[in-house]
Amino acid sequence: MHDALFNVIHTGMKNLNQLTKNELIDLLKDKEVVIADLNARIDELEKMAIKSEATPLNADTSRMLSAMSQRIKSLEEQVGTHDTQS
């Protein structure tokens, strides 16, 4: 797998066998950044998966929450309008 990984990586100008030690170190640092970014994305997706396991609401509760949400939005708009007039 090690060889297969390095055969896939192309630097654009040189073959990996032609890179200097510093160029290889820089390439490895770049790949570490990519790996860290991918690990962070995995963590985000795992958190989303945990959140999605919430139990669905029954119809009455859903309607009540929807009505409350609309009321809150209306009140926020009124407060926002009031603040701009002051």
**What is the residue-level pLDDT of the chain in tens, covering all 86 positions?**
344 444 445 545 567 778 888 888 998 999 999 999 999 999 888 888 776 666 667 888 888 988 999 999 999 988 887 666 65
pLDDT, residue 72, reads: 95
Cα(29)–Cα(76) distance, integer angstroms? 48
pLDDT, residue 52, reads: 65
Structural domain includes residue 6: no
**Domain with 39 in it:** 19-54
Q: Which pTM value belongs to this model? A: 0.41
Q: Residues 6, 16: contact at Cβ < 8 Å?
A: yes
Percentages helix, strand, coil for the chain (3-state, rounded to 5) are 80, 0, 20
Structural domain includes residue 13: no
Structural domain includes residue 3: no
Structural domain includes residue 14: no
Q: Residues 14, 22: contact at Cβ < 8 Å?
A: no
Do both 50 and 62 map to the same domain?
no
